[in-house]
Amino acid sequence: MGPNSYPKMETGGVTRMAPQRPEFLTGRPKVKVGVVQLASELYGKERNERKILRLIEAAAKERADLLVFPEDSSLGFPFEATKSILAKYRGLSETIPGPFTDRLGKAAARCGMHIVIGLPEADAGKAGHLYNSSVLFGPNGRTAVYRKVHLYTAPATGLDEKAYFEPGNEAMVVDTEAGRLGMMICYDICRPEYPRILTLAGAEILLLPAAWPTAGGPRWEALLRARAIENQLFVIGAPQGGKQFYGNGMVIDYQGKVLAHTTRDDSVELCTIDLNGIRSWREMLPYLKDRKPALYREFSERQLLRDL
């Protein structure tokens, strides 16, 4: 099936791809999750894809239910945006569905696993347009595609996603047998309101494929843990490795505890998470219940800065 082939349900401005499931946060499953740290070779499409498929098979042997790969896993990410580099990058990118995503969908079905991976997506309707996308493949043959909303620009490093990609305009939570999955990519996590929107739409696990620059390393773990703690859910951050990127993939629980941590490139770390713990933790510490959104809206319309 094609992109976003889960049935759609609109919830508070967020598209929730929702099959029929039991009531949220009741009788939730235990889920074996894997986080991948990958050193994708720039333009090394065939070698990267072979490595990705090998890691899927390795996780399948450990009976993983959900496996999360980094941002731009198939092609890597170039820091320069010259005309020749852009042309080569666009030329190697595929539409979704396409040959590689077809193989990933078959792997998910064969392994009985949910697979999430960051890929540059060519727009089938607009030549030269790319999206920085995260694709979810279900073991039932269904797929969902999230296009990164917040594109990163950093003149100091020369990294400019806006030179490559068009921004997405849809937030997404996907309801699966492995839990309700909030879809994000890298820079999306740098603003607290975005993961909060996904949480309020029902997310139990925030998925973050990323290519986090080495210079920003100290912020990586802090942001992952903060979003897990303030939203009282699980966060899986799957990063690119190599010399330019920070690595350090993590699975973090609703209390901010690191449950799994990658320490080397081209590896997967697994752990089992209990989604039932979210409900009891939220009952004990009712962060979300005690919000005052009407008052926050009123505050946002006032002039709060005052002279003393």
Catalytic residues: 71, 148, 186
Let me know: does 156 contact 109? Beta carbons within 8 Å. no
- The dihedrals phi and psi of 107, each to the nearest 5 degrees, come to -65, -40
Sign of the C-alpha dihedral, residues 198, 98, 212, 236? positive
CA-wise closest residue to 69 among 29, 30, 112, 40: 40
Q: Which of 124, 171, 126, 111 is nearest to 144 (CA)?
A: 171
Say if residue 58 is exposed, middle or buried (CB neighbours under 10 Å; 0-12, 13-18, 19+). Answer: middle
SS3 state at 55 = helix
Would you call 35 helix, strand, or coil by DSSP?
strand
Distance CA 103, CA 110 (A): 10
The two structure tokens encoding residue 84: 């020749």
Residue 47 backbone class (left: φ over 0; alpha: ψ -120 to 50; beta: rest) = alpha
In sequence order, the β-bridge partners of residue 263 are none
Contact between residue 16 and residue 174 where contact means Cβ atoms under 8 Å apart: yes
In whole angstroms, what is the distance from residue 198 CA to residue 77 CA? 26
